[in-house]
Amino acid sequence: MIEVPAIQVDQWNREFFLTVLKARDLVGISYVAIRGQSDEEGAVQRIFNRERLASLRRYALHKGAYPSSIVLNWTAGAAPVFDEGLLSVPVESRSAQIIDGQHRVEGLRAAIEESNHIGDTEIPVSIYMNLDTRECADLFLSINTEQKPVPRSLVFDLYGIASEGFVDPAAVRARDIAMHLNDSEGSPYFKNIKLPNQPIRKGGVALSTAVAALKPLVESKGIFEQIDASELEVQKKIVENFFVVLREKYGDRWEDKSNAFMFAAGFTGGIDFLKLKLIPICNNMSPKDFSIGFISTLIDLPKESLVRQDEIKGVGGKDAPKRVFDRLVDAFKPQQQISTSFKL
């Protein structure tokens, strides 16, 4: 049993207690009731995404912030007792379902296993008592639909100023390349990467789209690592040169709204083509040749065959980038040799 300061909150005919628990106590009392796998009342949670565990653990180990409450539904027979501003909480395993925050809790659990002092971290917690499944579903939906996360473009933009321990290194590198495309006057995407809080306009590529497309190139064991192109300047030049070639093919039509590459699907399909088709060929030259002149010889895209936005307008999901990718493959005329050093 632990005793912690708490506030009793009455909100829309629901009562809960707002308190602070040590991370080790939170981990000790909480559990997840997964919808479809558990028939107990309050089972509304999704299956834990274990692919995120490493980043969640790293976040906790780097003293990440946890300002928003973990939301619990107390289900055990021995319930907390509130008296004069203090909450007496039984510390027993599987006492409270997690309604919101299971990934944060699992990250803390993994971090505590690696470094015990993380268990002393104070975590804000909201504790409801014996909610049924409908009430848990109402809370879960309120938190996860009405209280929407910030736009991904803002997240990626903030990566440029956040502390190192809080960011995804591959996303940071992808953002650096995207911002180079936007900020460099010679870039085909000069001022055409849409940043957070800019006025809404037709055309241009959202920062989140650019980062998501570029990130697979720069991830650990990605194509740039495979060809030993680890320097940022080299990576920026390879990407820029490819789009410069496309701009040359389009001429004065490049910034027209009819140009598919001025939209998300065109950019994404183009990067997929760069990764899967163009880079392997350029890398096999002797020396490796990523120059504008050489790339131009590989892409036969006459004015009458340009990829137009109206070809993919109305095509949904991954089909739109795939259509752009296929059109570039049709225009691809590869030449293969051997390689040793870079030519840019």
Residue 120: strand, helix, or coil? helix
Q: Which residue has the tokens 């497309």?
A: 213
DSSP structure class, residue 247? H
Considering all CA atoms of the chain, what is the largest pairwise distance in Å, rounded to the nearest integer?
80
**β-sheet with 122-129: strand ranges across:** 30-31, 96-100, 70-74, 122-129, 14-22, 2-11, 86-89, 81-83
- The predicted pLDDT at position 150 comes to 65
Q: Which residues of 174-186 are buried (b: 16+ CB within 10 A; e: fewer)?
A: bbbbbbbbbeeee
Residue 108: strand, helix, or coil? helix
Query: What CA–CA distances, in Å, run from 234 to 241, 295, 305, 342, 344?
Result: 10, 15, 30, 9, 8
H or E element: which one contains 2? strand 2-11
pLDDT tens per residue, the chain (344 residues)?
Answer: 999 999 999 988 889 999 999 999 999 999 999 888 888 888 888 888 888 899 899 999 998 899 999 999 999 989 999 999 999 999 999 999 999 999 999 999 999 999 999 999 999 999 999 999 888 888 887 877 666 666 666 777 777 767 666 678 899 899 999 999 999 999 999 999 998 877 777 789 999 999 999 999 999 999 999 999 999 999 999 999 999 999 999 999 999 999 999 999 999 999 999 999 999 999 999 899 999 999 999 999 999 999 999 999 888 788 999 999 999 999 999 864 444 566 67
Distance CA(41)–CA(76), nearest Å, equals 12
Q: State the SS3 of 204-216.
A: CEEHHHHHHHHHH
The per-residue pLDDT for range 37-52, each reduced to its tens digit, is: 888 888 888 888 888 8
The per-residue pLDDT for range 105-122, each reduced to its tens digit, is: 999 999 999 999 999 999
- Measured from the Cβ of residue 193, the count of other Cβ atoms closer than 10 Å reads 24
Q: Is 45 exposed, middle or buried (CB count within 10 Å of its CB: 0-12, 13-18, 19+)? A: buried
